[in-house]
């Protein structure tokens, strides 16, 4: 241990269950339970760090699951991080680079070191990341509904609450009809986009091209999670920008996708790309190339959302983030007070020291399904 950081005296991984208000229906299926992974650190001065590895319960979005994330964080990511020389945001990211994939686990661990560092320095996470904005515009991601009427009612509700942009989940059989209805009902000024969560193939290109008529900000992840070349082929025949989500799991993935024209818009989720260090690299890449960038969401608790929000305060994020307030997803949050969307469709990025939101440790404890204390034998804890 060197560099003036107080040593980490507690390092634990927790699997917690968050009851969803209603099932989230997408192109990959129904998500009706939500377990997530938290990483908690404490240093010898009593500063706390919290991070979240928000994989889903199932492997239908990406290979990572809550279970695999808990295991990878407990047995590999956190031990490697603790054994890094002078563990801090940058050194732990480098120490965990040996791990293949398991981006959500690495992100949860790194997030805890970022917020611990902010707490120890007496600064806000946002400032540590170099963020400038104090409010960020947000949009809502609407799951697939049973009827078009239900979707129209939900869009009206969210626009009334101030949301700046609407993203509709689509899949074969639920695409042009809801998109046309929303465009017709809410007019040309509505920023509207769709997310297919990998539910189409190149054989569906004609159907996807029909969406060009609705002036969408982007079509997110139309093809399979690993279909990089196919997305480039599709983008060549679509007027609407393709946005990639599942396919982009590292800064290198983003560079490759942009180099071959597989997308013209980027959804960045810190969990999916392995953490905030990789996110900063991607933000720089997109800013350099003039690519519209926005922060996606993984139905995170307020712990994960806090990191996303701090990241969104960077100027490279040029489009509204997927960031429904926790109250839209859960009846309560693991942070309290949590954030709320203002009437102007923006959320305040806190300038509080550390994570930015007070963690309700009583709720974390009550919701914990299992936990593991990780000891760095080299550091004697
Ligand atoms: O594809 O963007 C996605 C949630 C879970 C998994 C994948 C996605 C989503 C969302 C929700 O769209 C966005 C949010 O967290 O508000
Ligand atoms: Mg998506």
CA 369, CA 331: separation in Å to the nearest integer? 19
- Measured by CA distance, the residue closest to atom 8 of ligand 1 is 298
Dihedral of CA atoms 201, 207, 210, 212 in degrees, nearest 10, equals 0
Regarding the beta carbon of 197 and ligand 1, being less than 6 Å apart is answered yes
Regarding the beta carbon of 195 and ligand 1, being less than 6 Å apart is answered yes
CA 336, CA 241: separation in Å to the nearest integer? 38
**Phi and psi at residue 249, to the nearest 5°:** -120, 10
Atom of ligand 1 nearest to the CA of 328: 16
In this predicted structure, what is the pLDDT of residue 248?
98
In this predicted structure, what is the pLDDT of residue 292?
98
Regarding the beta carbon of 198 and ligand 1, being less than 6 Å apart is answered no
**Counting ligands in written order, which one lies closest to the CA of residue 322?**
1
In this predicted structure, what is the pLDDT of residue 162?
92
CA 110, CA 97: separation in Å to the nearest integer? 11
Neighbouring C-beta atoms of residue 101, cutoff 10 Å = 15
Regarding the beta carbon of 61 and ligand 1, being less than 6 Å apart is answered yes
CA 22, CA 44: separation in Å to the nearest integer? 41
- pTM of the model as a whole: 0.97
CA 299, CA 302: separation in Å to the nearest integer? 9
Given a cut of 50, the residues of the chain with pLDDT beneath it are 1-2
DSSP string across 11-70: EEEEEEEE-BSS-EEETTEEE--EEEEEEEEEETT--EEEEEE---SSTTSSS--HHHHH
Q: How far is the CA of 217 from the centre of ligand 2 (A)?
A: 14
- Measured by CA distance, the residue closest to atom 6 of ligand 1 is 298
Neighbouring C-beta atoms of residue 369, cutoff 10 Å = 11
Regarding the beta carbon of 175 and ligand 1, being less than 6 Å apart is answered no
The domains found in the chain, sorted by start residue, are 8-122+358-373 (3.30.390.10), 127-348 (3.20.20.120)
**What does DSSP assign to residue 164?**
S
| Interval 132-183: pLDDT, tens | 999 999 999 999 999 999 999 999 999 999 999 999 999 999 999 999 999 9
Point out the residues that are catalytic: 169, 269
């Amino acid at each position: 241990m060197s560099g003036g950081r107080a040593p980490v005296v507690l390092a634990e991984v927790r699997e917690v269950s968050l009851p969803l208000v209603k099932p989230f229906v997408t192109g990959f299926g129904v998500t009706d339970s939500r377990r997530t992974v938290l990483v908690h650190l404490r240093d010898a001065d009593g500063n706390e760090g919290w991070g979240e590895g928000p994989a889903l319960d199932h492997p239908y979005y990406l290979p990572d699951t809550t279970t695999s994330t808990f295991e990878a964080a407990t047995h590999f990511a956190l031990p490697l991080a603790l054994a890094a020389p002078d563990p801090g945001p940058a050194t732990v990211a480098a120490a965990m680079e040996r791990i293949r994939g398991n981006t959500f686990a690495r992100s949860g661990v790194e997030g805890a070191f970022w917020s611990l560092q902010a707490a120890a320095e007496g600064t806000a996470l946002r400032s540590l990341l170099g963020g400038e904005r104090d409010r960020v515009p947000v949009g809502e991601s609407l799951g697939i509904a049973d009827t078009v009427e239900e979707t129209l009612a939900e869009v009206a509700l969210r626009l009334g609450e101030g949301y700046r942009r609407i993203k509709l989940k689509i899949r074969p059989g639920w695409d042009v009809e809801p998109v046309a209805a929303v465009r017709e009902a809410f007019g040309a000024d509505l920023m509207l986009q769709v997310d297919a969560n990998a539910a189409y193939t190149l054989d569906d290109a004609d159907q996807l091209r029909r969406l060009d008529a609705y002036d969408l900000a982007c079509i997110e992840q139309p093809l399979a999670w690993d279909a990089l070349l196919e997305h480039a082929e599709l983008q060549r025949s679509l007027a609407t920008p393709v946005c990639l989500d599942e396919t982009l799991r590292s800064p290198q993935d983003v560079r490759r996708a942009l180099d071959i024209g597989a997308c013209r818009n980027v959804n960045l989720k810190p969990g999916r790309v392995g953490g905030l260090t990789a996110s900063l690299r991607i933000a720089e890449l997109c800013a350099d190339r003039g690519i519209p960038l926005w922060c996606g969401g993984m139905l995170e608790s307020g712990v994960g959302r806090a990191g996303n929000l701090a990241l969104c305060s960077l100027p490279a994020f040029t489009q509204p983030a997927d960031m429904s307030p926790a109250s839209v997803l859960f009846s309560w949050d693991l942070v309290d007070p949590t954030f709320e969307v203002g009437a102007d469709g923006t959320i305040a990025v806190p300038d509080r020291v550390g994570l930015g939101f007070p963690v309700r440790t009583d709720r974390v404890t009550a919701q914990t399904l299992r936990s593991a204390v990780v000891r760095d034998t080299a550091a004697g804890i």
